[in-house]
Structure 1
Amino acid sequence: MASPLFLCILLVVFGSYLSTISAAGDGHFRHKMSAPPPQSYDTRMFLSVTPRPDRAGAAAPLVHRHGPCAKSPSTDKPSSFAEALHRSRVRADYIMSRALRGRDTTTTIEMQEQEGKVSIPAHLDTSVDSQEYVVTLGLGTPAVEQVLLMDTGSDLSWVQCAPCNSTDCYPQKDPLFDPRKSSTYAPIPCGSDLCKSLQSDHFDNGCSMNGNGTQSQCGYRVEYGGGLKTRGVYSNEALTMAPGVVIKDFHFGCAYKQIGSDDKSDGLLGLGGAPESLPVQTSAVYGGSFSYCLPPVSSGTGFLALGAPSNTSGFSFTPMTPFMDYATFYLVKLTGISVGGKQLRIPPKVFEGGLIVDCGNIISHLPSTPYAELQSAFRAAMAAYPLIPSDEYDTCYNFTGYSNITVPKVALTFTGGVTVDLDVPNGVLLDGCLAFTESGLDDYVGFLGNVQMRTLEMLYDVRGGRLGFRAGAC
């Protein structure tokens, strides 16, 4: 019997052949249904598989947390479409309510620490319940592997730290990171500029008390929309992206108190546009650019890479800006949609709100008119297959008894005439359902979710103000 590691390598190399999809010449793809891979894997292996970005920068393997190459597959089951839709809507609604509410309305909370009492402002961040992709990095010296949720909608990174008992931290599969065993760990002083900047960015600048009654360590607190709250010490540490590629003095949260259950990871890696994020912290070395490729659930590894490739000729670029005055979120403008090779008739003005590019949002959200046109055209192309009646979702199919499925190609066109063909079926269907939903009225901001990003390399050239797409990257 083949080992799990061998099976994972086969998935990485031959993943595109696990399901047979052939061009039909009519704007559609023929998809031959095949059984999913087994869901039992060796939790000891991870960095055995080499990531594939063509660059001389820092790169790490990236996997779906339910995928065959996950180091520690999550104990919960993969989300059904109904669950994914609910989580995606909660996250989108939370981001939008936060934007409309404004950052200045954060509340003040009282925290009672063992060393003393400290009053700090709470920062509400985006929901983590919808996060599906994880990256394994090394933290500390010697480096200890940490499996972190990857989020372009968050900035401050954190891990659970020892000592932390089961009542203060949620159970995780890997040992807690122990800063006492690292020669490069250092808490950030509360009077430092780094700590003060947390106040301006609405994370914290709370200070804990040490044994002699003086304030010494910078505290942080983040409250997420899904109910998870994390707090601890803002710290410096060495972060290993790949063998021999070490980021010194990486600022992160060493968490000693968590509220809300979560067994999906050891922590979170923030890839947003604010100063606390990994890309901004490393901008002096990597120019603030980063990219990733999200593999389908049943395939092997993708990658997360810092820095831009030396050759970007394989990318198509569209302008990218921050969302309103929020440095965290990345916004692009959609200008058109095609189904089966035919451009849909959609007035350009309905796209004015733009799309937030959010790898933590599972499903893409479109304004009402574009969504209605996409849904109608997709249903017409899929008329041979029975729709599943439901009050919760409206474009899901019963493929029972069908060995070959004809799925129409769906393409998104962005500002500058950049047309991106979504991977079929992984970038179009989720659990047999069209992986799009309605965001609200026309001109309302939408979201580009992680299903539509699958197999694409997404290159965030922040300084250049552009987002790049490269097909077939993982």
Structure 2
Amino acid sequence: MASSPLLLCVLFCSYCLVALGGREHGFVVVPTSSSSASQSQPSACSSVSHVTSDNPNRASVPLAHRHGPCAPASVASGGEPSLAERLRRDLARRRHIIRKASGRTVTLSDAAGVSIPTSLGAAVDSLEYVVTLGLGTPAVQQTVLIDTGSDLSWVQCKPCDSSACYPQKDPLFDPSASSTYAPVTCGADACKALANGYDAGCTNSTGTPLCQYGIEYGNRDTTVGVYSTETLTLRPGVAVRNFSFGCGLRQRGTFDKYDGLLGLGGAPESLVSQTAGTYGGAFSYCLPPWNSTTGFLALGAPSNNTAGFLFTPLHSSPEGPTFYVVTLAGISVGGKRLDIPPAVFSPGMIIDSGTVITGLPDTAYAALRTAFRSAMSAYPLLPPSEYLDTCYNFTGFSNKTVPTVSLTFDGGVTIDLDNPSGILLEGCLAFVGGSSDDAGIIGNVNQRTFEVLYDSGQGHVGFRPGAC
């Protein structure tokens, strides 16, 4: 009986750790239901994001997971693809980004014979986060995917019909109804500048030669239309004049429900580059941990208040300015640094908002997998699937103890991934292996709850935990 008080104390402390999502010695105890919370669909949406706003010129808009209750009904309805389908698309996108970043992309052609440069990821539908902006005068709401892996923004435009465009639930953008819409002529400097990536010649369907853009994604989805300028409204009273975008008149492929895409890459066509004079070429976002909460997308960096941010140097891809590259220096599991030679990470890591799963060099992933499996040995390991090989069956467990996973970047910056939302995806470790010779990709699961600040002017990327 003398040991009873000690036993009660242990039980009470264990209960406290579970109830609070406790963290101790590099592990976090969470309810087992949290393993799939990011895929559940609560009936209500809540907002818990916190934008650093000491810069009066900083503009932010709400950001939501496109399959959750916080997304507009026009893109959220219809159910979420299965995990296997999401991972299939994600793998295709990841492979395509690596090919493009390493200079191994090829130019494809659509059925009409228009030569279209390959861009973005192989499956645009793997992108998961959307924002709603106003386009035109008067402003018409458009819900678009955000993507740091591409530059040219586009929406579907009238007079596109069901034979030329994919179905969307919002009304198509009507250029004729806007007083500020202007197509770019074929001889304009802006059109000539597209030759580096999106130029698709000229179209003279209106009697005037107009600049035609074209993009073909790696899975042969295409968008072709007129390169144009328009007023883009970020929020009431905050607008981007003469914003260059693609007015899509012919789309083909597996696009689904959303109205278009917002390019946040580093090339001149992106929203970030076009607004650099106002916002300094900086932007940030916070990807929410669950579908039932919102995050944000913000243009501009905090003027002075960078407290809470951890910064690492930002590099450009040698194959072009689109991608944002950082240098990973190490990985820790359960508070213990893994024995991975620094040279393994020398190709760099692309940070991408549209890729779901993080792709590591094979050597790094093997070390991470071994350590993570050892720490999770109390739970049954499921047979490997085509896409992920470290998944667990938590049936019968009311709680699970998940080790912390930390990423250390160049400069000694270490971030602890949100646990479990930034580590597990439907009970699976959200990492995979890849080629050791190419850059890796930091997917959006690992980025959850961080404000990720891209600041090309300052030459760094910042991470602020607990921002949404």
Stretch moving more, 337-346 or 48-57: 48-57
C-alpha contact 1:363 1:450 (8 A) present in aligned 2: yes
Establish whether residue 172 from structure 1 lines up as the match of residue 198 from structure 2: no
Render the CA deviation track for 1:181-220: whole Å, top value 9, x for unaligned: 1111111111110011001x220152211454x42x2111
TM-score normalised by structure 2 residue count: 0.89
1:450-461, aligned counterparts within 5 Å? 450-461=444-455
Give the paired residue count.
441
Matches within 5 A, 1:286-365: 286-310=279-303, 311-365=305-359
Residues 436 and 76 of structure 1, relative CA distance in 2, 3 Å threshold: farther
Structure number with higher relative contact order (C-alpha < 8 Å, ≥ 6 residues apart):
2
Within-5 A mapping of 1:8-407: 21-34=20-33, 36=37, 39=41, 52-55=50-53, 56=56, 57-72=58-73, 73-75=75-77, 77-102=79-104, 106=107, 111=112, 121-127=116-122, 128-199=124-195, 201-204=196-199, 206-212=201-207, 214-215=208-209, 217-310=210-303, 311-392=305-386, 393-407=388-402
Amino acid at match of 2:373: R
CA contact (8 A) 2:68 2:76 kept: no
Higher mean C-alpha deviation, range 26-35 or range 295-304 = 26-35
% of aligned pairs identical?
Answer: 54
Partner of 1:7 in structure 2? none
**Cα displacement (A) at 1:314:** 1.6
Tell me if 1:408 matches 2:406: no
TM-aligned CA deviation for residue 21 of structure 1: 4.8
Whole-angstrom CA distance in 2 between matches of 1:173 and 1:309: 36
C-alpha offsets along residues 89-142 of structure 1, whole Å, 9 cap, x if unaligned? 211211222344556x63577858xxxxxx655344323132011111111111
SS in 1 for 2:24: coil
SS at match of 2:278: helix
What is the distance in 1 between the residues matched to 2:371 and 2:223? 44
Structure 2: gaps spanning 5 or more residues:
1-17
Q: 2:440 aligns with which of 433, 436, 446?
A: 446
Q: Distance in 2 between matches of 1:447 and 1:372?
A: 16
SS in 2 for 1:162: coil
- Native 8 Å contact 1:153 1:360 kept in 2: yes
Q: Which amino acid aligns with 2:432?
A: T
Q: Deviations over 1:247-283 (max 9, x none)?
A: 1111000001001032141000000000000000000
Gaps of 5+ in 1: 1-18, 113-118
* 1:304-348 deviation line (CA, Å, top 9, x unaligned): 000001211221100111111311011101111111111111111
Whether the 8 Å contact between 1:231 and 1:257 is mirrored in structure 2 is yes
- Secondary structure of the residue that 1:411 maps to in structure 2? strand
Partners of 2:237 and 2:325 in 1: CA distance: 34
Q: Distance in 1 between matches of 2:138 and 2:408?
A: 46
User: In 2 relative to 1, CA 295–87 (structure 1 residues): closer, same or farther, beyond 3 Å?
Assistant: same
Say which is worse superposed, 50-59 or 127-136, in terms of deviation: 50-59
Change (3 A) 1:50 1:298: closer
Moved more, 151-160 or 311-320: 311-320
Contact 1:106–1:124 under 8 Å retained in 2: no
Deviates more, 1:70-79 or 1:179-188: 70-79
One-letter amino acid of the structure 1 residue matched with residue 371 of structure 2: A
CA deviation string 1:31-53 (max 9, x = no partner): 013485974869xxx9x969631
Provide the C-alpha distance between the structure 2 equivalents of 1:179 and 1:194, rounded to a whole number of angstroms: 19
Q: 1:433 to 1:123 in 2, by over 3 A?
A: closer
Q: Quote the Cα distance in structure 2 between the aligned partners of 1:452 and 1:185.
A: 39
Cα distance, 1:85 vs. partner? Answer: 3.1
CA distance in 1 between counterparts of 2:460 and 2:97 reads 22
Confirm or deny that 1:423 pairs with 2:382: no
Once residues 186 and 24 of structure 2 are traced to their aligned partners in structure 1, the CA distance between those partners, rounded to angstroms, is 63
Q: Contact 1:66–1:297 at 8 Å: present in 2 too?
A: no
Distance 2:107 2:40 in 1: 46
| Separation in structure 2 between the aligned mates of residue 174 and residue 382 of structure 1, nearest angstrom | 45
TM-aligned CA deviation for residue 291 of structure 1: 0.2
